[in-house]
C-alpha cells in the first residue's frame, strides 16, 4: 500500500510575501519540507540543489511570470517534476496556457484547504512512485555494471579478459592511428609454469597467477592502460601514448615488481621465485593494423626472451607484413 503520509520536498514560488508565508506554514504543518522563492529567477537558482518533488508556482510575477518559469524548468531539468500553478485568474484560456507551458494542474487563489490537501495527497502518490522508480533504476544500473564487469572480467584473476583486451587494442590502434601517437603492448608469460603446477599443484598455480595479476595490475593505474589475461599463464599490458623507451621501462618495472614479490618457485631455472619473459612491441599505428599481427610480433619477441634465458624482456621488431613462423616450444 502506498504511504500517502510521507513528506515531499515542495518548492513554493510566489512574489507576494504574505501569500507565500501563509501557504508555506500550511504545507509545513502537513509535514512537508518547503523551500520558498520570491521570484522565478530565484526559483531556478534554488531548484537544482533543492531537487523538489513538487513545484507550486504563482502565475503573475514580475520579470519572469509563472509560464516562463515552468518552460525554463522543463527545458533545463529533464527529470519530470509535477508543477501546479496558483493564480487568481480562472479563465479557461489561462488554464490552457498553464498546461501548454508545462504545468500539470491549476489552482485558483485563494486556494481551498480541502482541494489543496486532496491535490497534495495525489502528488504524494506520484512522489512515492518516483522514489520507488529511482530505487529500482539504481538497482538495475548496479546490476548492469556488475554484469558488464563479469562479461569483461577473467574469472580467476579478475583482470580484463581476452575478449575485452582484443576489443580495446583494436580501438587503441584506431585512436592512435588518427592521432599519430605511439602505442605499446607487452606480452608476458610465466617462466617454467608447468613444473610449478606439476610440483605445487594446480590450486597453488592458480594462487600464483592471482598474485602475479594483482601485482601487475597495481603497476598500471593510468587511464588508457589495460592489463588483461591473454590466456593460461600469459598476460598482456596495453599502454596508450607510450613510446618504445617508456615501454621498456615498464617491462623492467614488471621484472622488478616480481623480484620484490618473490613468489617461491624452486623449480624455476632462472631464479628461485616466479619470473616472466616479456615481449615488448611499440609502434605508431596507421590505424589499419591487424591485432593478430601485433600479438604475433610481441609473441615472437617473448619467445626470444625465453631462448635468451628467461626473466628478461626483448623488444619486438615491427614488421608491416609479419610472416607466420612456427612458434618455439620453449616455455
Catalytic sites, residue numbers: 233
Q: In what order do the strands lie in the sheet with 225-231?
A: 225-231, 234-239, 183-190, 276-283, 313-315
The answer to whether 192 and 268 have CB atoms below 8 angstroms apart is yes
Please state, in angstroms and rounded to a whole number, the distance separating the CA atoms of residues 63 and 52: 22
Element at 61 (helix H, strand E): none
d(CA 295, CA 309): 21
**Around Cβ 204, how many Cβ atoms within 10 Å?**
13
Phi, psi at residue 217, to the nearest 5°? -65, -35
The residues pairing with 187 across neighbouring beta strands, listed in sequence order, are 236, 279
Query: C-alpha grid cell for residue 185?
Result: 603492448
Rounded Cα gap, residues 143 and 201, in angstroms: 36
Which of 314, 302, 212, 308 shows the shortest CA–CA distance to 269?
A: 308
Set of cell numbers at residue 114? 480541502
- Residue 25 is inside which H or E element, if any? helix 17-29
Q: What are phi and psi of 236, to 5 degrees?
A: -135, 140
Surface-to-core class of residue 76, CB atoms within 10 Å of its CB (0-12 exposed, 13-18 middle, 19+ buried): exposed
Name the burial class of residue 109, with classes exposed (0-12), middle (13-18) and buried (19+) by CB atoms within 10 angstroms of its CB.
middle
CA distance 110 to 88: 7
Amino acid at each position: 500500500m502506498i504511504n500517502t503520509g510521507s513528506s515531499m520536498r515542495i518548492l513554493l514560488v510566489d512574489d507576494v510575501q504574505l501569500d507565500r508565508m501563509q501557504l508555506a506554514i500550511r504545507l509545513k504543518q502537513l509535514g512537508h519540507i518547503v523551500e520558498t522563492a520570491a521570484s522565478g529567477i530565484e526559483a531556478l537558482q534554488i531548484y537544482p540543489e533543492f531537487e523538489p518533488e513538487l513545484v507550486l508556482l504563482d502565475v503573475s510575477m514580475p520579470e519572469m511570470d509563472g509560464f516562463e518559469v515552468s518552460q525554463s524548468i522543463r527545458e533545463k531539468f529533464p527529470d519530470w517534476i509535477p508543477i501546479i500553478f496558483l493564480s487568481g485568474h480562472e479563465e479557461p484560456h489561462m488554464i490552457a496556457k498553464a498546461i501548454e507551458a508545462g504545468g500539470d494542474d491549476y489552482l485558483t487563489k485563494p486556494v481551498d484547504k480541502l482541494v489543496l490537501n486532496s491535490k497534495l495527497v495525489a502528488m504524494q502518490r506520484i512522489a512515492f512512485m518516483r522514489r520507488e522508480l529511482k530505487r529500482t533504476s539504481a538497482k538495475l544500473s548496479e546490476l548492469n555494471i556488475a554484469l558488464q564487469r563479469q562479461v569483461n572480467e577473467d574469472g580467476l584473476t579478475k583482470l580484463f579478459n581476452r575478449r575485452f583486451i582484443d576489443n580495446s587494442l583494436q580501438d587503441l590502434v584506431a585512436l592512435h592511428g588518427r592521432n599519430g601517437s605511439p602505442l605499446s603492448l607487452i606480452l608476458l608469460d610465466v617462466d617454467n609454469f608447468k613444473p610449478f603446477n606439476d610440483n605445487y599443484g594446480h590450486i597453488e598455480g592458480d594462487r600464483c597467477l592471482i598474485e602475479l595479476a594483482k601485482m601487475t595490475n597495481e603497476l598500471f593505474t593510468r587511464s588508457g592502460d589495460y592489463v588483461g589475461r591473454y590466456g593460461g599463464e600469459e598476460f598482456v599490458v596495453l599502454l596508450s601514448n607510450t613510446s618504445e623507451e617508456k615501454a621498456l621501462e615498464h617491462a623492467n618495472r614488471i621484472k622488478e615488481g616480481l623480484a620484490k614479490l618473490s613468489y617461491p618457485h624452486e623449480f624455476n631455472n632462472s631464479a628461485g621465485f616466479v619470473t616472466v619473459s616479456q615481449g615488448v612491441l611499440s609502434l605508431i599505428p596507421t590505424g589499419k593494423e591487424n591485432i593478430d599481427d601485433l600479438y604475433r610480433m610481441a609473441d615472437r619477441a617473448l619467445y626470444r626472451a625465453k631462448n635468451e634465458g628467461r626473466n628478461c624482456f626483448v623488444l619486438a621488431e615491427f614488421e608491416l607484413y609479419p610472416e607466420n613462423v612456427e612458434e618455439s616450444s620453449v616455455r
